Amino acid sequence: MEPVRVRIRDHEYLIKSDGNQEEVLRIADFVNTKLMEVENSTEGLSERKTAVLAALQIASDYFQVLKERDEELARMRRQTEALIHQIDLIMD
């Protein structure tokens, strides 16, 4: 795949990815949005500190999604087991 040129803040990067161009651009836009959120909420941070805080927010969002997914899977597992138990009762 051809590298995709993206702009993160004031810097351009060539990104090689297994994903398609639209996906890479969407991710770059997401990162830019997180960086702007940090910049708008805290004044006077260096570019490095802004990037670290944005990365921490992205990681926090990611782990929250994983937690929600795990909780949903556990809920579905309990429902499936309850249905199997009900079917077993009927079949016996």
Please check the confidence at residue 15 and state whether its pLDDT lies above 80: yes
Residue 88 three-state SS: helix
Average pLDDT for the chain: 95
b/e map of 45-66 (b: 16 or more CB within 10 Å)?
eeeeebbebbeeeeeeeeeeee
Mean pLDDT of the region 23-47: 95
Specify whether the CB–CB gap between 27 and 18 falls below 8 A: no
pLDDT band at 50 (very low <50, low <70, confident <90, very high): very high
Q: Give tens-digit pLDDT for 77-92.
A: 999 999 999 999 999 8
Specify whether the CB–CB gap between 4 and 20 falls below 8 A: no
